[in-house]
DNA sequence: AATAGTTATGCAAATGTTTTCATTAATTTT
DNA sequence: AAAATTAATGAAAACATTTGCATAACTATT
């Protein structure tokens, strides 16, 4: 018995129900336009034939595709996990399906992914941050699909954005360390070349540190990707030095976690021997021992609002979609920072 | 100036290039069939008009949609993050785009998501584990889309699967604790109702423990979701007891991390006062202080192979797709387990 | 009871591609 | 130079839907 090529399209359902294809279509999309009795027949026919609508056919007709694209640098670490989860939940609650793509912090790859998502005719598109290639910006403008930049807020952004002011975050973190009396500061950030979030945080913090005439010895400033293992490794070297800083500002909580482990491994007490502050307040940061002092970025709320904005933009057929929502970051003082000791 | 409704379809490109739509289509899909000169004209026309192919139109024609669906319980925690990342990388390397959906450990929700992905005519579909509703299995059979269950290996699975034998994992973890002399054992698992992975691990381990006549005091067996915070909380109660177990088997590394933090908070030494073993070997588990002893599940390799299988299955037009690949789990001895002390 | 208005349904066109078949042009063989 | 191949292109059908328009069957109004 050869598996029959399941020829279950809308017309076979229509035949089975004894109505026209148009009526079946209406029963599915505008149930109020078809008589209850007919609807019932159709429902049965659908159930019986195992019919599944073809979204592609709707899409081609100009209808919404029912998909929203999300392009992130990575999902491998905790950084975007909560965001993706919240975004996905909010988006699917509104009947959309998520098309996910990740580019590994490479903006040319990102451009390719954006194109691919546009080929699939996503109804809306979300990217992380405001650093994108000129090609990406151009194609988004041309296709005018509702687009949203998540994570970084900028009042002058070329596209809609919802997020935090990352410079502000840098300020908050730096001020906290300065306030505690630290003047010997180390920083651990990822490469800031194609990452506006990290760049803003870092340069803002540096400015503050300089204003406070802190010692920012070149050798204490290190660069490592967002990875616990690599951050720990890098910090082992840094913290084993005779002349080490009294405080460490980490590009995010993942790095901070690595830093803490490095300190513990070396038998240093956090925060007595070294203060460590993270950025993000990821899941688990509060439970760390010692609990991580960090600057909270409300990932869930950002993800949820982002999804809400985009879903709304899809319905409105209005011309240009532009919203900017700013969330406030917040210092969460826990147990990894303390007043600087005289050294 | 009203933004013209970008009428950039294949025929407008064709007109611009002075050829027929058919030729443009060929230039895109079978470049070797069209003369270099013509191809060049077409390329220019495409560039100039900002044309982006409409995947929906191809799909409707019977061509592959170029999407692969992945349904996971959650992306919020580290559990599936590496898997999703590896799967996504492998899938997009082969030209597909990932449609992601998450159901929050609810199998009815999962059914809905599977249907939605099928509406989008995914070329292939991956699910986590082998616990799925009858409806889900039925619809997958009816539509015969290549389907793969990831994470759990079962030689008798109704669909293709790649993963580890979770019972085996339970055995490995239990044997390790027994071998170290532990006979007072606590376990922390999530609800096993709709989660075959956790169920297999737990029941296999229990069997081993019973065979070794270990003390499995009811009060030491706790249930908590995969969450660092909740696991830590639950363990604080457990470990503060006068009569606590000497070893803790955790449903996965996320829970184990919570358990470690709880122990540290209570001033207990791990592993001297309490041995803790996790499952999974997630990113960061090796860097924990003390480093986590765990049973490694090769998430990256599983994700990559899963994607490879599915991509291959899409090309092959063969009737039934059925592969089963088993990966071996491996005990990774680190610093959180030690020989039981007489109590 | 005749007219107007409403409701439910069907017909057919339209959506943006791909692909089969046919046609023309270019190349090779005799 | 004619015949036979081969290569490049175009015309049109097909894919699974949705929707505007037309029609038929009711219901409400006078």
- Residue B68's nearest CA partner among B93, B100, B103, B110 is B100
CA of A34 to C1' of D29 (A): 25
CATH of the domain at A286: 3.40.50.2300
| B334 domain-assigned | no
Residue A291 shares a structural domain with residue A305: no
**Torsion B176-B178-B181-B185 (CA) sign:** positive
Contact residues, A window 161-200, toward B, CB-based 8 Å cutoff? none
Per the CB < 8 A criterion, the answer to whether B91 and B311 are in contact is yes
Residue A49 shares a structural domain with residue A72: no
Q: How far apart are the first and last CA of chain B?
A: 84
| B120 domain-assigned | yes
Q: In what order do the strands lie in the sheet with A97-102?
A: A324-327, A160-164, A147-152, A124-128, A67-72, A97-102, B97-102, B67-72, B124-128, B147-152, B160-164, B324-327
Helical segments of chain A, H only: 10-17, 21-29, 36-49, 55-60, 78-93, 107-119, 134-143, 166-179, 196-211, 228-240, 253-265, 299-315
Residue A157 shares a structural domain with residue A173: no
Q: Quick one: DSSP state of residue B241?
A: S
Name the closest residue on chain A to residue B63, using Cα atoms. Answer: A56
Cα B10 to Cα B54: distance, rounded to the nearest angstrom: 9
User: Which pLDDT belongs to residue B6?
Assistant: 56
Beta bridge partners, A279, equal: A295
Residue A193 CB partners (closer than 8 Å, separation 6+): none
Cα B287 to Cα B2: distance, rounded to the nearest angstrom: 58
Write phi, then psi, for A126 (nearest 5 degrees): -125, 135
Per the CB < 8 A criterion, the answer to whether A259 and A276 are in contact is yes
| A341 domain-assigned | no
Name the closest residue on chain A to residue B120, using Cα atoms. Answer: A55
User: Which pLDDT belongs to residue A30?
Assistant: 95
Domains identified in chain A, total number: 3
Residue A211 CB partners (closer than 8 Å, separation 6+): none
Residue A159 shares a structural domain with residue A307: yes
Structure tokens at B97: 């785009």
Name the closest residue on chain B to residue A64, using Cα atoms. Answer: B56
Residue A269 shares a structural domain with residue A232: yes
Write phi, then psi, for A94 (nearest 5 degrees): -95, 15
Q: Quick one: DSSP state of residue B31?
A: G
User: Which pLDDT belongs to residue B7?
Assistant: 75
| A179 domain-assigned | yes
Residue A32 shares a structural domain with residue A120: no
Choose the mutation target among A55, A93, A142 for the interface with B, i.e. most B CBs under 10 Å: A55
Structure tokens at B79: 């559990």
Q: Is B86 exposed, middle or buried (0-12, 13-18, 19+ CB in 10 A)?
A: buried
User: Which pLDDT belongs to residue A2?
Assistant: 32
Choose the mutation target among A116, A117, A137 for the interface with B, i.e. most B CBs under 10 Å: A116
DSSP string across A144-193: T--EEEEEE--TT-SSEEEEE-HHHHHHHHHHHHHHTT--BEEEEE---T
**Pairs across A and B, CB distance < 8 A:** 163
Beta bridge partners, A101, equal: A71
Cα A280 to Cα A278: distance, rounded to the nearest angstrom: 7
Count of other CB atoms within 10 angstroms of residue A310: 31
Residues of A in contact with B109 (CB under 8 A): none
Cα B86 to Cα A232: distance, rounded to the nearest angstrom: 23
Residue B140 shares a structural domain with residue B184: no
**Torsion A134-A136-A140-A145 (CA) sign:** negative
Angle, to 10 degrees, between the axis of helix A21-29 and the axis of helix A10-17? 100
Cα A50 to Cα B112: distance, rounded to the nearest angstrom: 14
Residues of B in contact with A317 (CB under 8 A): none
Residues of B in contact with A5 (CB under 8 A): none
Per the CB < 8 A criterion, the answer to whether B233 and A284 are in contact is no
CA of B13 to C1' of C23 (A): 23
Q: Is B21 on the interface with A (CB under 8 A)?
A: no
Contact B3 A118 (CB under 8 A): no
Instruction: Scan for tokens 């919020």, then name that residue.
Output: B76
Q: How many residues does chain B have?
A: 343
CA distances to A79, A296, B11, B74, B191 from B77, in Å: 10, 18, 47, 7, 16
**Nearest protein residue, CA measured to C1' of D14:** B61
Residue A123 shares a structural domain with residue A42: no
| A73 domain-assigned | yes
Residues of B in contact with A288 (CB under 8 A): 261
CB burial of B222-248 (b: ≥16 within 10 Å; e: otherwise) equals: bebbbbbebbbebbbebbeeeebbbbb
Structure tokens at A152: 């970084």
CATH of the domain at A22: 1.10.260
Residue B129 CB partners (closer than 8 Å, separation 6+): B149, B150, B151, B152, B195, B196, B197
Per the CB < 8 A criterion, the answer to whether B233 and B207 are in contact is no
- Residue A149's nearest CA partner among A67, A96, A83 is A83
CA angle, residues B95, B98, B101, in degrees to nearest 5: 170
Strand C nucleotides within a 7 Å radius of protein CB atoms: 7-12, 14-20
The string of pLDDT tens digits covering residues B119-137 is: 999 999 999 999 999 999 9
Cα B320 to Cα B323: distance, rounded to the nearest angstrom: 10
By three-state DSSP, how is residue A225 classified? coil
- Residue B311's nearest CA partner among B96, B163, B154 is B96
Residue A33, CA: closest nucleotide via C1'? C8
Residue A237 CB partners (closer than 8 Å, separation 6+): none
CA of B63 to C1' of D20 (A): 30
Instruction: Scan for tokens 């040319």, then name that residue.
Output: A108
Q: Is A252 on the interface with B (CB under 8 A)?
A: no
Count of other CB atoms within 10 angstroms of residue A216: 18
Range of B46's domain?
Answer: 10-53
Per the CB < 8 A criterion, the answer to whether A94 and A101 are in contact is no
User: Which pLDDT belongs to residue A159?
Assistant: 96
Torsion angle (degrees, nearest 10) of CA B12, B18, B20, B25 = -70
| B4 domain-assigned | no
Residue A71 shares a structural domain with residue A104: yes
Residue A72 shares a structural domain with residue A217: no
| A4 domain-assigned | no
Name the closest residue on chain B to residue A96, using Cα atoms. Answer: B116
- Stretches where chain A sits below pLDDT 50 are 1-5
Residue A171 shares a structural domain with residue A285: yes
| A2 domain-assigned | no
The string of pLDDT tens digits covering residues B330-341 is: 999 999 999 998
- Stretches where chain B sits below pLDDT 70 are 1-6, 317-318, 342-343
Residue A87 shares a structural domain with residue A158: yes
By three-state DSSP, how is residue A4 classified? coil
Q: What would you report as the CA-atom Rg of chain A, rounded to the nearest whole angstrom?
A: 26
Q: What would you report as the CA-atom Rg of chain B, rounded to the nearest whole angstrom?
A: 26
């Amino acid at each position: 018995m050869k598996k029959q090529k399941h020829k279950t399209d809308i017309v076979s359902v229509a035949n089975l129900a004894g109505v026209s294809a148009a009526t079946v279509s209406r029963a599915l999309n505008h149930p109020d336009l078809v008589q209850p009795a007919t609807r019932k027949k159709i429902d049965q026919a659908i159930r019986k034939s195992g019919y599944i609508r073809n979204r592609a056919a709707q899409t081609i007709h100009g209808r919404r595709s029912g998909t929203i694209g999300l392009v992130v640098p990575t999902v491998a670490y905790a950084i975007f996990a909560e965001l993706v989860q919240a975004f996905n939940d909010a988006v699917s609650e509104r009947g959309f399906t998520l098309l996910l793509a990740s580019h590994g912090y490479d903006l040319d790859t990102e451009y390719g992914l954006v194109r691919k998502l546009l080929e699939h005719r996503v109804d809306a598109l979300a990217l992380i941050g405001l650093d994108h290639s000129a090609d990406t910006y151009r194609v988004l403008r041309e296709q005018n699909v509702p687009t949203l930049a998540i994570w970084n807020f900028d009042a002058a952004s070329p596209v809609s954005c919802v997020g935090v002011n990352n410079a502000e975050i840098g300020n908050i973190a730096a001020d906290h360390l300065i306030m505690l009396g630290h003047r010997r500061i180390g920083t651990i950030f990822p490469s800031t070349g194609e990452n506006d979030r990290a760049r803003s945080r870092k340069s803002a913090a540096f400015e503050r540190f300089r204003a406070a005439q802190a010692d920012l010895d070149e050798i204490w400033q290190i660069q490592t990707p967002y990875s616990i293992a690599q951050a720990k490794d890098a910090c082992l070297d840094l913290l084993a030095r005779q002349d080490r800083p009294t405080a460490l500002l980490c590009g995010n909580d993942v790095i901070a976690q690595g830093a803490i482990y490095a300190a513990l491994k070396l038998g240093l007490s956090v925060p007595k021997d070294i203060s460590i502050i993270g950025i993000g307040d990821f899941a688990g940061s509060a439970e760390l021992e010692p609990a991580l002092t960090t600057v909270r970025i409300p990932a869930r709320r950002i993800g949820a609002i982002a999804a809400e904005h985009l879903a709304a933009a899809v319905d409105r057929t209005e011309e240009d979609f532009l919203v900017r929502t700013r969330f406030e970051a917040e210092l969460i003082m826990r147990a990894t920072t303390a007043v600087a000791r005289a050294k």
